[in-house]
Amino acid sequence: MKQALTIIALLTLAVACSKQEPVDEVVTETPAVEEPVAGETLAPADTTTAADETLEVVEESAADPEPEDEAIILAQADPVEAPASWQFSEGKHYTRMVPTQPTVGGADKVEVAEFFWYGCPHCSDFEPYINKWDSEKPANARLVKMPIVWNPVAMLHGRMFFTAEVLARNGVIEDAKAFHAAAFQEYQRGNRMTTEAAIARVFARFNVSQEDFEKTWSSFEVDQKVRVANDLMRRYKIDAVPTVVVNGKYRTGASEAGSYPKLLELINELIVRESLR
């Protein structure tokens, strides 16, 4: 019986929230996000202050397929050694995207992008795991949290995430991580946050004035961040959350890895693979 319960628990853990799942109706109109045009640069063209901190998609590779895991070690302070054997395999535990897709940051670090939605209970369950990994991650890795924006409710929640991110950077919100956790809890308590007014009340609990909220919520910078999230979601073909993409090249999740702890092991192995290029 104990073994059976363990198996059931692991199967439950590996389930992700699908793009096709029904969502709550949005009461207010969501700000439109312009669809990316093929070949268009997503970073703002001007150099205004609002655009300086905007997410920028960085193209890492050309359209040609890359050679299979060539052991060309990148120059770094502490060279990474390849293991005698790999624990995880392509096609079973992760999908390799060809060609490699853009990342948010530069090529100085291996980027780990976690796609999530505040309404996904599995994303909420994964939070303690990915946050612990973030505090212990390899020195050459970077974590980027990326909200999915595949429907009107998710679009509102994505705008909420980026609004909090900008307000935290500007010192209006003291603890962005605390706000992120509170947003998950708010949804689980029954507040689906399907209107701008409902979301504004969550910000008010973090001492954000209505003026600061409205100014940031409708800002060009937040618009750009939502646009980048939308573009990356499409490029990476994200259809379930939580999903992790390593360096714009490897897409995976708990379903493929087997569990959340195994997913973290897989992330670390993929970072090693990238460090050997």
- Got the DSSP string for the chain? -HHHHHHHHHHHHT--EETTS--PPPSSPPPP-PPPPTT---S-SS--HHHHTS---B--S-SSPPPS----PPP-SSPPPPPSS-SS-BTTTBEE-SSPPPBSS-TTSEEEEEEE-TT-HHHHHHHHHHHHHHHH--TTEEEEEEE--SSHHHHHHHHHHHHHHHHHHTTSSS-HHHHHHHHHHHHHTT----SHHHHHHHHHTTT--HHHHHHHHT-HHHHHHHHHHHHHHHHTT--EESEEEETTTEEE-HHHHSSHHHHHHHHHHHHHHHHT-
Between CA 106 and CA 228 the distance in angstroms is 15
CB neighbours of residue 99 within 10 Å: 14
pLDDT tens-place values along the chain, 277 residues long: 555 545 444 444 455 898 876 556 665 444 444 444 444 433 333 433 343 444 566 554 433 445 454 443 444 546 678 888 999 999 999 999 999 999 999 999 999 999 999 999 999 999 999 999 999 999 999 999 999 999 999 999 999 999 999 999 999 999 999 999 999 999 999 999 999 999 999 999 999 999 999 999 999 999 999 999 999 999 999 999 999 999 999 999 999 999 999 999 999 999 999 999 7
Which phi and psi angles does 198 have, rounded to 5°? Answer: -65, -40
pTM across the whole model = 0.78
Between CA 29 and CA 258 the distance in angstroms is 39
Structure tokens given for 179:
């706000």
* Structural domains in the chain, sorted by start: 2-21+44-63+74-275 (3.40.30.10)
**Distance linking the first and last C-alpha atoms of the chain:** 46
Task: Give me the pLDDT at residue 218, please.
Answer: 98
Between CA 159 and CA 229 the distance in angstroms is 10
CA distances from 276 to 29, 107, 112 (A): 47, 14, 16
Q: Which of 82, 84, 87 is nearest to 69 (CA)?
A: 82
- Strands in 141-147's sheet, in edge-to-edge order, are 95-96, 250-252, 243-246, 110-116, 141-147
Between CA 175 and CA 215 the distance in angstroms is 19
Task: Give me the pLDDT at residue 277, please.
Answer: 72
**Which burial class, exposed, middle or buried, applies to 272 when counting CB atoms under 10 A from its CB (0-12, 13-18, 19+)?**
middle
